[in-house]
Structure 1
């Protein structure tokens, strides 16, 4: 298909600071650019993200940083009026409802408006709690709803809200960005977890990570991400604070195992592999994940990933894990994600949907 002009309104492309969707945006947009599409990413100057950039404006997208004001938002929307496709991502953080309506207003008569949800369980929970939620009335007006996870439950929920088409576009990795690197003593550990401190994550971090650390006092645990500096934790846990994306490969390659902990809403929904699952696997890390429905759609338990129901099982996996088995699991996971879970794979799906392919023709009736 001919290259499309895509206007994308999201939280931030150039900063991962309090912005877990950044690497997802980067992977998808870079892969779309590689297929000949032209993307302009509009992001508000908010939450100190511009002061904590971890990349310069990339050659594969045009970045427009607009003032986090109503006037700044309106000017950005007007600039997007000529695009073939206008995308509103969830969780921009500033004027989200107004942007959701504004994207529909600037859609060309022959163009597409896409609502792209990067935290579908949270969005669905908010809509369920508020019958007057503005997004509830807007969703049926979008040509397409994309989500970065959730599988059949999310597809059913958005369809029930009137979405014309809903398709998960799962997290993945970019092989040029996520790959094995040498061991870095700064990040040496037996188990590492990376994730910002959020209300629906903290209890699960206590249950899966801090409990495991307390059970294995002789082993070293690293906790990366914002917000953990004043969290009480066992003496064998070190809090790293924000870890810039340039260090993610070294972080993943310097631990015996890397832990994935889903936020409670995503674990409850299932089919929601975090971006870091694929990024860590691409680096050859041995992954341990909390249990959620649908894991086996992405990685094979016990062969490509270890699954734990609680901190006790995390500790059991870690205590029994030899360096040789950890390496074998990491290598198997890396083979799997290279074969099936790159952003190039996801971009092929997105391109097909934007060109008018139906869900049934793509074999996506089950939402995966």
Structure 2
């Protein structure tokens, strides 16, 4: 009898061990499947992307590729000057403008530009200006009013605007800022031009901007960075200005269509107010993205020749909606209440006449 019990216990133990092994195998299989799924998701989010530094489109110390010779990759313009530590687009002096432009057109489909810059000067808050811009445009080496570049440009401009011109515009229109519309300067914004869109200097580019964010970049003791990525017709701008080596989102716009073969550049301008605008480095990375055959065929069929942004009117209408002031809200509520009271009174009068006529029919 004891032998039977021992055999029974052995069979039960063996069956239990077998089931436990099966459960362990299933758990291990599910764990590996989960890891594989997460890895696939991360790969899809990153578009299985690799990046490569393109030195011919980049600018960094000791700036050997900058000059007026035909063999140089970058060319200076205006008041810009080269030092051992930076390229100063403008000094902290009035009415100056300078630029540095790439000589080689960029034919990359997907790219990422990392800008290391510094803006500093003697002027106190709102007594400095005007800012700098990073460009990817069809035109190059053209002086003008848009941060030292031409107006009605063709391509992309990302602006670091340090002076609030719109305050004067608002005062002239006898309007007031609302918490929804007021901005804190310096302010980073992006704009896509097709050759016929003008930058509204008085309103700090608000009517034509794609989006933006405030960025307190003046007179910082640590480095300032601007990140511009263009991938799969999506424009992303981020900033790193807190000295924490962390990118902060500024704008992310899908449906941005930029042709290839444009030029990179950086410009700056001063007016009655001034600042030192320094470019320390411009590093361009080629992004290698794996596309499906369908995506490649669609992109080949739709050749981009003019810069544009999908649903631009809808985007701007959402951004340019101005909130009502406190007085406007007060009168809106007041007239709404008066209108309701008026309708109630009219209703009571009509009901009273109807009820009186109804009683008369019974006599």
Give the TM-score band, short-chain normalised.
under 0.3
Between Structure 1 and Structure 2, the one with more strand by share is 2
TM-score by length of 1: 0.20
Higher relative contact order (CA 8 A, sep 6+): 2
TM-score by length of 2: 0.21
Select the structure of larger CA radius of gyration. 2
